[in-house]
Amino acid sequence: MLRLSLLAAVSLMSGPCLGAEWPDLSGQTITIAGPYIGPDEEHFRAVLAPFAEATGAVVDYAGSQQFSQQIVIDTSSGSAPNVAIFPLPGLAATLAGEGKLAPLGDETETWLRDNYAAGQSWVDLGSYEGPDHVRRLYGFTYKTDLKSLVWYVPDEFADAGYAVPETFEDLQALTEKIVADGGTPWCIGIGSGAATGWPATDWVEDLLLRLESPDVYDQWVSHKIPFNDPRIVAAIELFGWFAKDNAKVAGGTNAVGTTDFSLSPQGLFTVPPQCYLHHQASFISSFFPENVVLGEDADFFYFPSYAGKELGKPVLGAGTLFAITNDSPGARALIDYLKTPQAHEIWMALGGFLTPHKGASLDAYPNDTLREQGQILLNATTFRFDGSDLMPGAVGAGSFWTGMVDFASGRSAEEVATSIEESWKALP
């Protein structure tokens, strides 16, 4: 149940009361389950407070690290919450196919197209085949993570006379310029304990969106084209252009597979710098040295697209999708509330939240870093969810990870892609 103390957090915005007329849900309880815990849970409860006050509903949120396992049990046993928050679209798609999710309807589909930047991308992300094999919208994306970023130190760029690249051609030219100047352009580390390899999968996904149309990306993650399709091999090889050249990587290519991703950006901050560029998602700043001030000591730019390919400004990321798992008027009203700018601006002001909502004010973000990341989302012409998270676990969190380690260690892109393809075809 919502804690009254969280109503104070809502005062960061214009106030706790919603301006629109909302249904009277007094006496009704809306249950929600999801993966938000810790600060995310606190912030989400602050988002829910105005809705509970405006409708009179009791809003009961339960967060768990085991959400993905528990929601399968609950939907199978008839004890599902009204609304579930999915961190992985693949799980939502599976439950939709089993008839355990309620379609959100044409009105919500139209709303997403009109109100989210790159709106069709968000419709596609939340649309799955139901038990009747008809594709409908089941998932409403709320809270987005951004991956298509390159981090750098502005002072080092200024001292060396480097400019932020506007195109992928510029990025490659800058890479070669740094080498010619006697520097090392990139820090790349794909180590992550048992999950070693995943940072390289982000590279390949981002690169594929810059080499080919979003349709090719979609066919790849759904296995409608094989993993060793020449277009996928080309994306892996392009990663190798950066990662398999001793002159371009801090520590040389041998360091790529052995350096932990959390330690990799440290080279940006040494004197002299061990590297000038680091490709990683928005969360990586939490691994920067404690004294680093974002926007001053470190900054980022959008991982640019090729000017010559005219593929717009694709963005790779992740996020959470809300779906109705136990239909009720309260569940429908909650989805409608999540469409309002205020439902986004409250969490925007609290930090740790990005949104493609065109109606939410960028001024709600508490700092320039989040504001600029939010602008990248708004400028996106295409959004695609992390591809490895959309693949079967044995591939996306298995052979794809290990295959990229093998690639960094010397195997060819063709060999690695064929090995991953064979592992996918072997799945039951």
The reported pLDDT for the residue numbered 212 is 98
Instruction: For residue 335, give the CATH number of its domain.
Output: 3.40.190.10
Task: Let me know if residue 40 belongs to a domain.
Answer: yes
C-alpha span between 103 and 83 (Å, rounded): 12
pTM: 0.94
Query: What does the block give as tokens for 28?
Result: 């009704």
The reported pLDDT for the residue numbered 17 is 58
Run of H or E residues at 96: helix 89-97
The reported pLDDT for the residue numbered 8 is 38
Task: Let me know if residue 226 belongs to a domain.
Answer: yes
Q: Are residues 221 and 338 in the same domain?
A: no
C-alpha span between 353 and 348 (Å, rounded): 5
Cα 130 to the chain's mean position, in Å?
A: 25
C-alpha span between 53 and 59 (Å, rounded): 10
DSSP string for 162-217: ----SSHHHHHHHHHHHHHTT---B----B-GGGTTHHHHHHHHHHHHHHS-HHHH
Q: Are residues 248 and 353 in the same domain?
A: no
Range of the domain at 401: 149-313+388-425
Task: Let me know if residue 144 belongs to a domain.
Answer: no
C-alpha span between 232 and 346 (Å, rounded): 40
Closest CA to 64 of 51, 81, 78: 81
The reported pLDDT for the residue numbered 19 is 60
Can you tell me whether residue 34 is helix, strand or coil?
strand
pLDDT digits (tens, 9 = 90+) for 38-48: 999 999 999 99
The reported pLDDT for the residue numbered 72 is 97
Q: In the chain, which residues have pLDDT < 50?
A: 1-16
Query: What does the block give as tokens for 292?
Result: 């680093």
* Identity of the amino acid at 105: G
Q: Are residues 233 and 248 in the same domain?
A: yes
Q: Are residues 173 and 290 in the same domain?
A: yes
* Domains held by the chain: number: 2
Which residues have CB under 8 Å from 213's CB, separation 6+?
A: 311
C-alpha span between 293 and 285 (Å, rounded): 10
Which residues have CB under 8 Å from 105's CB, separation 6+?
A: 137
pLDDT digits (tens, 9 = 90+) for 341-395: 999 999 999 999 999 999 999 999 999 999 999 999 999 999 999 999 999 999 9
Q: Are residues 163 and 226 in the same domain?
A: yes
Q: Are residues 173 and 242 in the same domain?
A: yes
The reported pLDDT for the residue numbered 21 is 85
